[in-house]
């Protein structure tokens, strides 16, 4: 068994092995960077962190605007009067064809003005040829609640004046009825108290080319209004009844808004004269003596036709010929306001992209025909629409919801 003593100690007299001397470690010298290289690195770092900060800011803004959109609050801007005055007159703009899905901006303006306690009076600026009976009646109801107040929504009454622009006819006139005072510019076209429904009919063309539609139905008049056959008397009676009902509703709304016209809209003749007769091409017709034939020409207020501002004032359809300032002055008087008031209008809401980029960003439209929108435009409906505005109504229908 080995013990510690078995290991021999080195002999001190024996020569020592030579020492190996290792060279000292020296790091390789770093290459001296040029001035341009240093500037490039600093520029890269700055761009990198700026990009991160910018993207974080974008995310914060998107979140903030999404929150504000959920609150559905319109921004108002100074229109006239004294800036930052406590008492306000709200200017509500209603433009274009009135169609379901296209009146949200008008609805938001009405709601905003109704819940603003500083708004003491309303001026409704109308520039519309009318639209569907549903969209027109919806806005009429909302404006009536704005004028009279709504207990359920806890809104107070606000005096209302209408200012008519170039056209406020049919449905555009219908929605003016809640106002206590109506002002039209001297170039305004208004009136057109009437209703119509129109249907595309290609029955004769289909017969000429041997095309027809086979319809299997349950219900004698289920396919009334089909473009592939002529209306039967029963089918026509159904649509005529609906048109008549909507017409009586229109007359009732005008009589409610203009009590002095009660019983006069359809009964009182406002124009009675004789005019030269002509054929369907506008050429004059003559009698046996070589004289131009005369035919009677009569009008009532609710014959569906339009009137000039002067005629509308004469027949009691409006109260005053004037401009926006005249409407504001009347609203101020109805509200009992002094000189210290501000007229405000409401900005049309925009998307985040349009606000950030400072431009209107339109949604990408699908290429080709949009059959859903074509079907929307072709759907039969009743119109409070001014004469010669059929195409505008169809285009609005193709854009609606």
Top mean pLDDT of 17-21, 187-191, 210-214 is at: 187-191
- For CATH 3.90.226.10, the residue range(s) in the chain are 72-207+237-266+303-348+369-399
> What is the predicted pLDDT for the residue at 201?
75
| Per-residue pLDDT tens digits for 135-150 | 999 999 999 999 999 9
pLDDT at 217 over 80: no
**Strand 342-346 relative to strand 76-81, pairing:** antiparallel
> What is the predicted pLDDT for the residue at 36?
63
pLDDT at 129 over 60: yes
As a whole number, mean pLDDT of residues 243-266 equals 97
Lowest mean pLDDT among 15-24, 95-104, 140-149, 219-228: 15-24
> Given this structure, which CATH class describes domain 72-207+237-266+303-348+369-399?
alpha beta
> What is the predicted pLDDT for the residue at 354?
46
Catalytic position from the list 141, 153, 222, 237: 222
d(CA 306, CA 374): 29
> What is the predicted pLDDT for the residue at 362?
43
d(CA 243, CA 234): 15
Residues with Cβ < 8 Å from 261, sequence gap 6 or more? 254, 255, 301, 316, 317
The pTM assigned to this predicted structure is: 0.77
DSSP structural state of residue 301: T
User: What are the φ and ψ backbone dihedral angles of 162, each rounded to 5 degrees?
Assistant: -105, 135
152: number of Cβ within 10 Å: 6
Q: Which residue has the higher pLDDT, 231 or 379?
A: 231
DSSP structural state of residue 6: G
Q: Which residue has the higher pLDDT, 56 or 297?
A: 297
Is 293 in the active site? no
> What is the predicted pLDDT for the residue at 70?
43
| Per-residue pLDDT tens digits for 379-401 | 667 888 887 777 777 677 766 65
Catalytic position from the list 136, 170, 192, 224: 170
Is 264 in the active site? no
As a whole number, mean pLDDT of residues 296-311 equals 97
| Per-residue pLDDT tens digits for 324-364 | 999 999 999 999 999 999 999 999 876 544 444 444 444 44
| Per-residue pLDDT tens digits for 17-75 | 665 655 655 655 655 556 666 666 677 677 777 777 777 776 666 555 555 444 457 89
């Amino acid at each position: 068994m080995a013990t510690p003593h078995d290991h021999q100690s080195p002999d001190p007299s024996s020569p020592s092995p030579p020492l190996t001397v290792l060279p000292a470690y020296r790091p390789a010298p770093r290459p001296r960077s040029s001035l341009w290289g240093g500037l490039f690195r600093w520029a890269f770092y700055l761009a990198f962190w700026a990009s991160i900060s910018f993207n974080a800011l974008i995310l914060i803004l998107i979140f903030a605007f999404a929150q504000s959109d959920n609150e559905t609050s319109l921004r108002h801007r100074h229109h006239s009067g004294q800036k930052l005055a406590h008492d306000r007159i709200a200017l509500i703009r209603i433009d274009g064809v009135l169609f379901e899905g296209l009146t949200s901006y008008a609805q938001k303006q009405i709601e905003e003005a109704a819940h603003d306690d500083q708004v003491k009076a309303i001026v409704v600026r109308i520039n519309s040829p009318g639209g569907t009976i549903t969209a027109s009646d919806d806005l009429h109801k909302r404006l009536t609640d704005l004028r009279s107040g709504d207990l359920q929504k806890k809104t107070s009454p606000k005096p209302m004046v209408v200012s008519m622009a170039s056209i406020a006819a049919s449905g555009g006139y219908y929605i003016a009825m809640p106002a206590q005072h109506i002002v039209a510019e001297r170039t305004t076209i208004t009136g057109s108290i009437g209703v119509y429904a129109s249907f595309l009919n290609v029955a004769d063309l289909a017969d000429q080319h041997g095309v027809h539609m086979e319809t299997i139905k349950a219900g004698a008049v289920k396919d009334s209004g089909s473009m592939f056959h002529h209306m039967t008397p029963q089918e026509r009676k159904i649509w005529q009844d609906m048109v008549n009902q909507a017409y009586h509703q229109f007359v009732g709304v005008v009589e409610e808004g203009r009590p002095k016209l009660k019983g006069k809209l359809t009964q009182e003749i406002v124009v009675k004269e004789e005019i030269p007769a002509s054929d369907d091409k506008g050429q004059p017709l003559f009698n046996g003596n070589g004289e131009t034939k005369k035919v009677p020409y009569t009008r009532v207020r609710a014959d569906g036709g339009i009137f000039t501002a002067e005629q509308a004032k004469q027949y009691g359809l409006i109260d005053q010929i004037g401009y926006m300032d005249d409407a504001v002055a009347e609203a101020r008087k109805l509200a009992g306001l002094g000189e210290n008031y501000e007229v405000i209008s409401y900005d049309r809401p925009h998307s985040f992209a349009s606000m950030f980029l400072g431009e209107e960003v339109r949604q990408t439209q699908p290429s080709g025909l949009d059959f859903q929108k074509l079907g929307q435009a072709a759907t039969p409906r009743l119109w409070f629409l001014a004469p010669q505005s059929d195409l505008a109504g169809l285009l609005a229908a193709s854009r609606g919801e």
